[in-house]
Structure 1
């Protein structure tokens, strides 16, 4: 039978048991990958992947139902009726679409889980997964038009060159942000969960990376404010990453004391106060030293190293509270601010 829109023979050759089994095996592979390779993922990652698996199971249930109906009617005498005979290619195409959706969803989930395996700390940017899904969908759609609908793509692509140029100019900013986002991920400039500092001219923007989308990178600031920066802008700015593993972050605090204070004891007590904070690294060890002196007294600077950039202010508050308490217990007072008023006669 020569159908008007669908190449029936090509479609029926695709919808065989082997294709059905291969698609089922792909979904099973995605499930087994989760069970065997992502046991150490965080609870948030487990919840996210389980949600994807539940959605995938629904697609597979629809695909299996349509495929079984197609095979049942294909091998029975019910299609002998002229009306049902004309509907057979359309039911076959519906089965093909359901299988293609399962194929894309399963492949997407496998890529997502593979990236999760390499970044279980905070997750992965959905940009890479979305790009993979888009490319796979486009390739599958072009193959469908060529083999199922019999459309010759070469003349169509040749005549669409002018349209592609116009579309590219219209989407210049969007495409620039897209490719900038891809380059940021290829270069591993930062990952989700990293604390970064973006220098835009004289403006400094600090936040924790929450998501990387097609157009922008979303940061969460110290006050939980959402900061959205175009990927193209970040690619052109100086970016400092404060979250690489094995690289401690240096922080310091300065406390002033009056003359006559026992300097060696002050230095020892400040270093002891810092070592009592569990979030401060033992190596390199905290260090206190005299920074400067003036007519009011002297200033001592305490430097220490931390791993969590986002908790620097909370840690600094703990250091200051512990240090003042320890100094007070040892009878050492800090310098009090003084004001000198000179009266002119």
Structure 2
């Protein structure tokens, strides 16, 4: 029965000992790569990679059992009798399982290679998934051609119209897919980065949590989930507040009473903000006069921080320390002045 559908001679030729040994060597190479090049990865990343290795080893053990069974059945055809008719099916199962192990091993190697450039935040899985999908399709088409003898050329030619219809139906999906590939190739941001996105009038701020084939997911300051399609992200204006070695500049305003000693007020404010542990000492905080009127002087304090997510907590400390330091130095804050005018020329204006 199996001979009608399967090219048994070609199938058996693929199940030699050499491909099995090469597959085992590929797994060993993946393990050696992990042990020597990913020592500095975080504990969470080590846990993820080891989980992939455990799954891969289980699959290889099952493949080994099937391979040994196949060899036994080939060498014992006379003793097995009618049970030898199951040998082609076992061989087919080994071929499929071997392809699964090969795809998983190749995927793991690519995943580890990408970890080299992003050990801190992790790796977006879109490119890894696309690689696995393409490799699986290639192996499937190759297996269909070699084992079942199906000529794919005429089949692909007659399916051109169906491909056009399918492409039009999946236009948005494919657009998001290729936009996602472009985003990950450009690497303008990574998982864990804080972004401010302005896309078509829609503005959002959050930390990148996930990058899939369809969208980018952010987590906002209130732990809300924000999802942007990849096509929107590709055309959006994106501000990244998490690049390495680039501290984030923040500023706050203090309004002081007119006539305040500006030089003394600057020193007091700069010293107070410099004493906050979350504020960078280099560059040091500095203050400038940003505006003034006849009633108040606007003093702006500028400082650098390292973590965008902590800006509100740090801002609270800056305001609190600044107010306490200015009050302790006897520097008065501006008061709201309201002028009331009377339309009667016999009465003068008054101030409150």
Query: Fold conserved (TM > 0.5)?
Result: yes
Aligned to 1:185: 184
8 Å CA contact 1:73–1:79 kept in 2: the answer is no
Deviations 1:173-208 (A, max 9, x none): 000000011111112221111112221233322111
The offset of 1:298, in angstroms, is 0.8
Bigger mean CA deviation after superposition, 315-324 or 17-26 = 315-324
What is the TM-score with the length of structure 1 in the denominator?
0.94
Mapped partners of 2:315, 2:184: distance in 1: 32
Deviations 1:53-89 (A, max 9, x none): 22212211211111121122222245651x3222111
Aligned length: 344
8 Å CA contact 2:73–2:84 kept in 1: the answer is no
Mapped partners of 1:340, 1:150: distance in 2: 94
Bigger mean CA deviation after superposition, 196-205 or 35-44 = 196-205
Bigger mean CA deviation after superposition, 131-140 or 200-209 = 200-209
Aligned to 2:350: none
Aligned to 1:93: 92
Aligned to 1:5: 5
CA RMSD of aligned residues (A): 2.0
Mapped partners of 1:298, 1:277: distance in 2: 24
| Closer/same/farther in 2, CA of residues 150 and 323 from structure 1, 3 Å limit | same
Aligned to 1:30: 30
Aligned to 2:319: 320
SS of the residue aligned with 2:192?
Answer: coil
Mapped partners of 2:150, 2:333: distance in 1: 84
Instruction: Give ranges in structure 1 of 5+ residues lacking alignment.
Output: none
Mapped partners of 1:279, 1:78: distance in 2: 79
Aligned to 2:281: 282
The offset of 1:41, in angstroms, is 0.7
What is the TM-score with the length of structure 2 in the denominator?
0.92
SS of the residue aligned with 1:4?
Answer: helix
Q: How does 1:110-149 map to 2 (within 5 A)?
A: 110-149=109-148
Deviations 1:78-113 (A, max 9, x none): 5651x3222111100111111111110011011111
Mapped partners of 2:93, 2:2: distance in 1: 18
**Greater C-alpha Rg:** 2
Aligned to 2:239: 240
2:72 is the alignment partner of 1:72? yes
The offset of 1:5, in angstroms, is 1.3
8 Å CA contact 2:77–2:84 kept in 1: the answer is no
| Closer/same/farther in 2, CA of residues 54 and 2 from structure 1, 3 Å limit | closer
Bigger mean CA deviation after superposition, 156-165 or 327-336 = 327-336
Q: How does 1:166-185 map to 2 (within 5 A)?
A: 166-185=165-184
Aligned to 1:40: 40
SS of the residue aligned with 1:300?
Answer: strand
Mapped partners of 2:148, 2:333: distance in 1: 84
SS of the residue aligned with 2:245?
Answer: coil
Mapped partners of 2:79, 2:225: distance in 1: 59
Bigger mean CA deviation after superposition, 56-65 or 115-124 = 56-65
SS of the residue aligned with 2:116?
Answer: helix
The offset of 1:337, in angstroms, is 4.3
Deviations 1:25-57 (A, max 9, x none): 111222222211111111221121122122212
| Closer/same/farther in 2, CA of residues 339 and 54 from structure 1, 3 Å limit | farther
Deviations 1:246-289 (A, max 9, x none): 22222100011113433212101211122222332333321101
Bigger mean CA deviation after superposition, 131-140 or 334-343 = 334-343
